[in-house]
Amino acid sequence: MQFHLDGFKTGDPVIHEPNSDATALANTDSLPEEVDVLIVGCGPAGLTLAAQLAAFPDIRTRIVEQKAGPLQLGQADGVACRTMEMFEAFGFAERLEKEAYWVNETTFWKPDPANPDTIARSGRVQDVEDGLSEFPHVILNQARVHDFYLEIMRNSPNRLEPNYSRRLVDLDMAVEAGQEWPVTVQLERMDPGHEGETETVRARYVVGCDGARSSVRRALGRELKGDSANQAWGVMDVLAVTDFPDIRFKALVQSASEGSILIIPREGGYLVRIYVELDKLRPDERVANRNITVDHLIAAAGRILHPYSLDVKEVAWWSVYEIGQRLCDKFDDVPAEGAPGRLPHVFIAGDACHTHSPKAGQGMNVSMQDTFNLGWKLAHVLKGLSEPELLASYSAERQAIAQNLIDFDREWAKLVSAPVKSESNPDGVEPAEVQKYFVQHGRYTAGTASRYLPSLLTGDGAHQQLAEGFQIGMRFHSAPVVRLADAKPVQLGHVVKADGRWRIFAFADKGDPAAETSAIRRLCNFLQDDQSSPVLRHTAAGEDIDAVIDLRAVFQQNHRDLTLERMPSLLLPAKGRYGLRDYEKMFCPDLKSGNDIFEMRGIDRDKGCLVIVRPDQYVAEVLPLDAHEALSGYFQGILKERR
């Protein structure tokens, strides 16, 4: 973490100086008449977007929520490895990691062959494969995830706070070109003393993060389409006394005739979440018509766990729900058939545009990745870095990802809910098949399998062989390195913060990087002096040299074999009002620990390479180290000239 760039300040460095423009402060009780971005919904998707946009003092953002206040308990709890990587970009992964339950292993239980009326452990597997991420798969109450985001927002320059008790009544779009505030939203207040009052807000952009029954989606005329919800499940967070030996493991338990349960240990060492399979629904039936009580869930869980006992002492939260995998055909307001010249101004994210079963733990994670994708694009457009056409890429990228995950989730939910194969049920599923599928698709559940297809933002892989471990279109897979200036071991991926900046990682060849003829020095000279340099072309006068594109270099040598003062000046840039040197641009392999990033990520040692990383931590392109023209061309297609 870096601070004091523009002068020494006491206190907590995560609390930013407030925006000097009092009208931009976003913690007032009433809503302004005009905003840049209005976010509808304070779920994981909405808060991820709000936390990202709150970092930009010149972007007027507000977030509204129908509920009366912040979430307190219940709802989603699984945090995938990929999501933890994203949380690191926001700065709270370490705190969450300390508080959460770690899912280290998953166990599988099936009917005991010797006594099918009872259950027996049939398998035990490592939950996340070695080396997949520097972060674990963890479990933490969704409300606590919200807390971390809300803290970031309060500490931001805009001091952003949600406006609760607001119900969206109407949304109107003026699609004609040239409208500065093309979206008009009417909201009804429901808080004491203001019941029935209406507020009208005009916005440049509106993002609906308001759940599966989204009012924003309905205003767009879009529908969730897909499988009917014919399977009912219950869920409860309980404090219980049991002799079931795997109560502190994630466990899938399949009984012979009573259905299945999924056990998810919770944070704190005592609380446990139990998902309980209920009877199938008729085509015309809703789970609300069943009049299911928590006692039904407790009794069903007890029957499935036989011969083990389950004595529930307290129920912290419980609910019943229907499983259905459904998806919108588009995630914005532009017609699916296309409209010449029409650009998106209204977006939907999270459950508003895709729904999953909770058993794969994807809903909350995918929702947050949606708005992490959208956030930097909105910031780019609003700050004048990119043309509004960039925003069309949100729906194109995220709809395809959601479709892939729904296909996976549909198969996984089918396997978990299927009857166990037996002599009396030869068409059932072998528990071993369920375990095998879980292991084979571990990267989906870890959130690391998402891949963006070639586009304006994503390269075609022509030079992928230069860095096989940094797959284009996939998240930047971090690895340990040592910082040259102070010999500190760090994770390279952790420099990609949620600040809207691009990163270029220059992996050097074998030669001396300080030499006058080295490829690294030629790259730095080009970026610093050449008129076609993307750094010069897309950075405005008065901004720090790394304000838009942040260059980092990784050398092959041991950090003790290099001399800092001989390195190119661009890797020691002067920044801020005092022109202070940034010493955190250069890294070496962590050879002491045996972690050679060049070997770990399959980087060509003879040639080196450039790896371009998007603001949302995805690899955009891999290029030769000397491909200066191609480097400029890539950014010219996305960023506006600003010098």
* 266 given a catalytic annotation: yes
Alpha-carbon distances, residue 515 vs 291, 520, 522 (angstroms): 76, 9, 10
User: Among 36, 77, 332, 596, which one carries the catalytic annotation?
Assistant: 77
C-alpha–C-alpha distance, residues 413 and 555, integer Å? 46
Indicate the pairing of strand 183-189 with strand 198-208.
Answer: antiparallel
Please answer whether residues 348 and 207 qualify as being in contact, where contact means their C-beta atoms are separated by less than 8 angstroms: yes
Alpha carbons 364 and 355: distance in angstroms, whole number:
10
Question: 111: part of which helix (H) or strand (E)?
Answer: strand 105-112
| Alpha carbon separation from 437 to 292, 298, 323 (Å, rounded) | 31, 28, 19
The catalytic position among 275, 394, 618, 634 is 275
Q: Which uninterrupted H or E stretch holds 251? A: strand 250-254
136, 157, 358, 534: the active-site residue: 358
Tell me, yes or no, if 279 is annotated catalytic: no
For residue 317, count other CB atoms closer than 10 A to its CB: 17
Phi, psi of 593 (to 5 degrees): -95, 0
Task: Identify whether the C-beta of residue 40 lies closer than 8 Å to the C-beta of residue 217.
Answer: no
DSSP 480-536: EEEETTT--EEEGGGG--SSS-EEEEEE--SS-TTSTT-HHHHHHHHHHH-TT-HHH
Token reading at 266: 């919770």
Tokens of 188: 């009804």
To the query of whether residue 275 is one of the catalytic residues in this protein, the response is yes
Instruction: Specify whether 388 is catalytic.
Output: no
CA distance 2 to 214: 40
Q: What phi and psi values does residue 366 have, to the nearest 5 degrees? A: -65, -35
Torsion angles phi and psi, residue 202, rounded to 5: -100, 135
3 state DSSP class of 592: helix
Among residues 62, 166, 189, 266, the one annotated as catalytic is 266
**What 3-state DSSP class applies to 241?**
strand
Nearest to 88 by CA among 562, 642, 564, 490: 490
The CB-based long-range contact list for 175-178 (8 Å cut-off, 24+ gap) reads 175/342, 175/345, 177/341
Nearest to 579 by CA among 542, 551, 625: 542
Contact in structure between 14 and 90 (CB atoms under 8 Å): no
Please give the positions annotated as active site.
77, 266, 275, 358
